[in-house]
Amino acid sequence: MSQLVRGLCWGLLVVASQSMLSHGLLGQAMFCQADEPETKSTKSLAELNAYWAEVSRSVGEGDFEGYTATCHTEGVLVSGVKQTSYPLTQALQRWKSGFDATRAKRMKASVQFRFSQRLHDDTTAHETGIFRYTSTGEGDEEVVQYVNFEGLLRKTATGWKIVMEYQKSMASEEDWNALSEPDSASE
Give 115-139 pLDDT, tens digit per residue: 999 999 999 999 999 999 999 988 8
Asked if residue 147 lies in contact with residue 167, where contact means CB atoms within 8 angstroms, the answer is yes
CA proximity to 90, closest of 80, 79, 101, 100: 79
Q: SS in 3 state form for 67-135?
A: HHCCEEEEEEEEECCCCEEEEHHHHHHHHHHHHHHHHCCCEEEEEEEEEEEEEECCCEEEEEEEEEEEE
| Greater model confidence, 184 or 181 | 181
Q: Given a cut of 80, is residue 8 above it in pLDDT?
A: no
The pLDDT of residue 7 is: 44
Helix axes 42-61, 88-103, angle to 10 degrees: 60
Listed by start position, the domains of the chain span 3-35, 42-184
Q: Given a cut of 70, is residue 36 above it in pLDDT?
A: no
Q: Given a cut of 60, is residue 66 above it in pLDDT?
A: yes
Give the whole-number percent of the chain exceeding pLDDT 70.
Answer: 75
Give 79-120 pLDDT, tens digit per residue: 999 999 999 999 999 999 999 999 999 999 999 999 999 999
Give the whole-number percent of the chain exceeding pLDDT 90.
Answer: 71
| Greater model confidence, 184 or 125 | 125
Q: Does residue 13 sit in helix, strand or coil?
A: helix
Q: From residue 156, give the alpha-carbon distance in Å to each of 34, 47, 72, 123, 125.
A: 27, 12, 9, 8, 12
**CA distance linking residue 168 with residue 31, whole number of Å:** 27
The pLDDT of residue 3 is: 46
The CATH number of 42-184, from 3.30.420.140, 2.60.40.1180, 3.40.50.720, 3.10.450.50, is: 3.10.450.50
Q: From residue 43, give the alpha-carbon distance in Å to each of 19, 29, 50.
A: 42, 31, 11
Question: For the residues 174-183, what does the mean pLDDT come to?
Answer: 87
Question: For the residues 153-173, what does the mean pLDDT come to?
Answer: 98
Q: From residue 75, give the alpha-carbon distance in Å to each of 90, 91, 134, 165, 173.
A: 10, 10, 24, 8, 28
Residue 175 parent element (H or E): helix 173-177
